[in-house]
A and B are shown apart, each in its own frame.
Chain A
């Protein structure tokens, strides 16, 4: 019937192509945005981009619907009803900025710490941190405290790098890849590309995860471990390596502190390294039969033995202490099998496989290089084992020590920054720990004075804590206090509740950016809402003023007093800086920008633009010239080009110098942004092949790093199997030194600040009884925290979440798919629907994170499934632990880093009476937002089918 119609096969995609950086999650992939008649026609991956190399995930490919979301804020808003009512009045930017400047200026003139500035999923922390430093408040951090600080700190204290942003598996060469606790995010495209490569080459993938979905579903071997026991599992692997004597001793001697001598005698130096007069750690040098300098090159240090120092103290090498720790029966596969749920045979086999690949399938590259001591090597020899770990390790109260234990495993196998191993991404490695100290001790906070340095850093001991004169916390979130001494990312999760309780003190303004703290980013949502709306005896809010900036009408917006509406990611300038969270790849130093590919059609401004403006209005020195004029009249792009952190070093590393010929270090180049635009909005500086491995000890790389301003020290990075800073805190808790913890805190610090990683049960399960199941969450691959539900396409994929439970658990209480259950923790209960599955640890239930929404938010109708079937586990997670010894309630966090322990949750499950999501909060008012459309025919205009 009929002839084939002629169809148009070569219609141009659009009329304009612009290249920028995605923001649909935290990967920061390069995107090609095709525009037609000023509208976004199509977004695809930038083939030249180092992060995604052309591909684009399900979120990035749905960016159009994010950009045109009906939940976008439209203009600055001033609250006119009670908090939570959503009653706002639109105001001008001038009024908004004057109001904010008035509030903030008063604080800065009197007591800067009464501002708490926390910036959520901030990708501009080098700017926001500078702003907070200039303001002079100690109360600044982003969302790392409830995300990944255990991973960052665990890695940086151990080997000067970390998983995800600071390193990557050697996807091209690795033969055995272990994935610990990595759900469907962190990272997106890079891991997907990598898994594709490994599959192609037939490399083995082992996933250690209570849930078998996503990446874990395609692994060759799934280890359905019980949550919070990864430290035992890894301990058993280490036990096996020690037992079978399959450890890279040469690597340990060359690159680690395994031979360094540790003082054994009780007293103020117990557990510290023996040091010579110059402060160098000491070793026993077999070549000379005497003590030697542990940092020297030409030594033969002993890994075993007991030695007596001239002053009579006994010392033993780290290696011996480690062997004793991990060869103890506590870590034998038989001992840990029941608790982890992993059979002993399986652990022994995996350990044997690791050893086999590391030592019998080594990779030899004919690539000469020079080590830190100037010795030339003909070849690069690699142990092709790589690992990656994320949320499932980090969100437990034992996450720091567990993360360190994974790194110990990597190091024992000799697989850090070698061919086929785990590779640093520049500017990593840093020193261990990095030479970056936290700032904001009480004595350093003065009216109208900037802080002396950055807020966040890496304490080397009690002397670097941020305390009041009385020894209490200087920061509102109690970061860098005895509650969380090494909280390198702060504790954003504690800010709202601490502020409302005025513990340790009250504040005047809470200023937040891009974190949904009144909903899915907080533990204990009901308690957090109480804190946001609590009033004092005078009828004033206990948190007197809240300023919030976001692009969308989230659950948090109605609780703020002043809204500074942000742009979408396609409307803004941004700079993904090496000073912040770089996008480097192992062989490439890289950074990137965003630029407005479409102009906003609303009265909104990029937050960074606003911050620079505000900074000038309150006369922060970094944003104000001496004559009082603004330092960056051109706003954020002006800052990106002309700000210099140190002479020659600015936010962007590419095309520096007056003519653009310098990389990394050079004078500001007025043409810099154009050069970025011409290059697809990113810059990459390749690493020379001879510098591409062993960078912790590669002379050429270390020197090059200094030249390029990405390394502070020409000394090698020495892996800290034994972490002395931890012992310094412990000694303080044992009664040594001028700075000691209060008595309530001593035992906790002695117990957990072990310089050698160890496993302990997560706190919640130590303190509550009657909750037999673990409850965890993961994020679907097509969603990024709360953002995805406003996206008309993504919510068609997931508009409601179920509680996934093991088939045996469902059968045990007589329930089937879609039945309603009560899930109860020591804090509260939620009613939700279940789905039965086999690919989950039988002692674990889980759900998709942040799908549950509160009615009134995100441009969704009140009858949306997100609100009526969707639910959050956050309602069950306490922000505080139950009262422990001494009656003090600690944050529900890792005792070392303050990382929020939201995977520690324990629950019980029972069949529910009735249906419908509980708790069901009252709808938020949203009168300031336009109604959402009832149907979409996006793209019809591109084909004239209107």
Chain B
């Protein structure tokens, strides 16, 4: 068992806008390319050119239809570690390799002490942890901990790779413990929600629901003329006015 900090100084996390995500996988591959050479290096790929290519990924997008009677919608759903306030994946860890950072709440795995027992991936209800079969340790989203504090890269780039890449702007990064932060504000305004709230792990990451479709606009009342002939005459009469070039 690994204990959790009583509280964290910040609650860094992601806010993902399901209204805008078009399912392009930019967040998926940019995450892979950053992290396969970053803190979690490598993110191994097994049988990469064969019958059953599989690898360790820290972020995936699932596209599916939600149908309810006559109503249906196609949803693109990015899924990664939610950096829960009460993460069972940490408390279940027998070696202390999984831990939640006091300063920012990021849930990390220490690859030097992870024994690859996979208890954490069983404990996580979100399926956010992936075992790297070749490296023999558990991999998970680090919130790009090696980017967000990295003094060797420009300040504006000190954000997770997925946020940096997202072409539609569907991903935002910030302190969800600070009610005045941009991310907290957008959660407030848009009714951001927790994934599987009822499980009680208190995810830090939030999802913004699809906006209501833009309503049909006001329409002018019109009279439809009786037949094509008179319709044309009426149109020509309307168009037959002095129009200067």
Contact surface of A with B, Cβ cutoff 8 Å: 1-2, 4-5, 7-13, 36, 41-45, 47, 52, 54-62, 64, 70, 184, 188-189, 192-193, 195-196, 199-200, 202-205, 212-218, 220-221, 242-247, 249-250, 253-254, 286-287, 296-305, 319-320, 323-324, 327-329, 349, 352-353, 355-357, 373, 781-782, 790, 792-797, 799, 837-839, 859-861, 863-865, 932-940, 942-943, 945
Q: Which chain A residue lies CB-closest to B95?
A: A1
**Stretch from B117-125, B174-182, B196-204, B218-226 at the A interface:** B218-226
Most chain B beta-carbon contacts within 10 A, residue among A56, A247, A328, A352: A56
- Choice from B24, B53, B217, B243 contacting A253 with Cβ under 8 Å: B243
CB distance from B199 to the nearest CB of A (A): 24
Q: How far is the CA of A349 from the CA of B213 in the complex (A)?
A: 15
Write out the residue numbers on chain A whose beta carbons fall within 8 Å of the beta carbon of B135: 937, 945
Is B37 a contact of A939 with CB atoms below 8 Å? yes
- Choice from B33, B243, B244 contacting A43 with Cβ under 8 Å: B33
The 10 closest A-B pairs by CB, nearest first: A58-B25, A939-B37, A192-B167, A792-B48, A939-B36, A217-B74, A932-B49, A943-B41, A61-B30, A942-B37
Write out the residue numbers on chain A whose beta carbons fall within 8 Å of the beta carbon of B67: 838
Q: Which chain A residue lies CB-closest to B43?
A: A939
Write out the residue numbers on chain A whose beta carbons fall within 8 Å of the beta carbon of B48: 792, 795-796, 932-936
Write out the residue numbers on chain B whose beta carbons fall within 8 Å of the beta carbon of A373: 245
Write out the residue numbers on chain B whose beta carbons fall within 8 Å of the beta carbon of A193: 167-169
Q: Which chain A residue lies CB-closest to B110?
A: A5
- Choice from A243, A352, A859, A865 contacting B231 with Cβ under 8 Å: A243
- Choice from B45, B65, B168 contacting A796 with Cβ under 8 Å: B45
Contact with A along B26-49 (1 / 0, CB 8 A): 101110111111110111111111
- Choice from A243, A244, A353, A945 contacting B217 with Cβ under 8 Å: A353
Is B152 a contact of A217 with CB atoms below 8 Å? no
Task: Known contacts A70-B49, A303-B240, A932-B48; decide if A352 and B220 are in contact (CB<8 Å).
Answer: yes
Query: Cβ of B207 < 8 Å from any Cβ of A?
Result: no
Is A301 a contact of B34 with CB atoms below 8 Å? no
Q: How far is the CA of A690 from the CA of B21 in the complex (A)?
A: 35
Is B24 a contact of A300 with CB atoms below 8 Å? no
Query: Cβ of B228 < 8 Å from any Cβ of A?
Result: yes
Query: Cβ of B75 < 8 Å from any Cβ of A?
Result: yes
Query: Cβ of B99 < 8 Å from any Cβ of A?
Result: yes
Q: Which of B36-89 contact A (CB under 8 A)?
A: 36-39, 41-55, 57, 63, 65, 67, 72-76
Task: Known contacts A213-B74, A242-B235, A838-B65; decide if A58 and B29 are in contact (CB<8 Å).
Answer: yes
| Chain B residue total in the interface (Cβ 8 A) | 99
Write out the residue numbers on chain A whose beta carbons fall within 8 Å of the beta carbon of B238: 245
Is A861 a contact of B51 with CB atoms below 8 Å? yes
CB distance from A696 to the nearest CB of B (A): 14
CB distance from A440 to the nearest CB of B (A): 40
Q: How far is the CA of A2 from the CA of B240 in the complex (A)?
A: 87
Most chain B beta-carbon contacts within 10 A, residue among A52, A299, A945: A945
Q: How far is the CA of A764 from the CA of B131 in the complex (A)?
A: 51
- Choice from B54, B168, B243 contacting A300 with Cβ under 8 Å: B243
Is B22 a contact of A11 with CB atoms below 8 Å? no
Is A212 a contact of B74 with CB atoms below 8 Å? yes
Is B2 a contact of A218 with CB atoms below 8 Å? no
Task: Known contacts A199-B19, A217-B76, A320-B236; decide if A58 and B24 are in contact (CB<8 Å).
Answer: yes
Q: Which chain A residue lies CB-closest to B25?
A: A58
Q: How far is the CA of A837 from the CA of B67 in the complex (A)?
A: 10
Q: Which chain B residue lies CB-closest to A839?
A: B74
Q: Which chain A residue lies CB-closest to B35?
A: A939
Is B24 a contact of A782 with CB atoms below 8 Å? yes
Contact with A along B126-155 (1 / 0, CB 8 A): 000000001100000000011001111100
Most chain B beta-carbon contacts within 10 A, residue among A13, A212, A246: A13
CB distance from B12 to the nearest CB of A (A): 13
CB distance from B179 to the nearest CB of A (A): 22
Is B243 a contact of A781 with CB atoms below 8 Å? no
Q: How far is the CA of A299 from the CA of B243 in the complex (A)?
A: 9
Write out the residue numbers on chain B whose beta carbons fall within 8 Å of the beta carbon of A301: 243, 245
CB distance from B65 to the nearest CB of A (A): 6
Q: Which chain A residue lies CB-closest to B233?
A: A304
Query: Cβ of B102 < 8 Å from any Cβ of A?
Result: yes
Write out the residue numbers on chain A whose beta carbons fall within 8 Å of the beta carbon of B170: 196
Q: How far is the CA of A57 from the CA of B29 in the complex (A)?
A: 8
CB distance from B56 to the nearest CB of A (A): 10
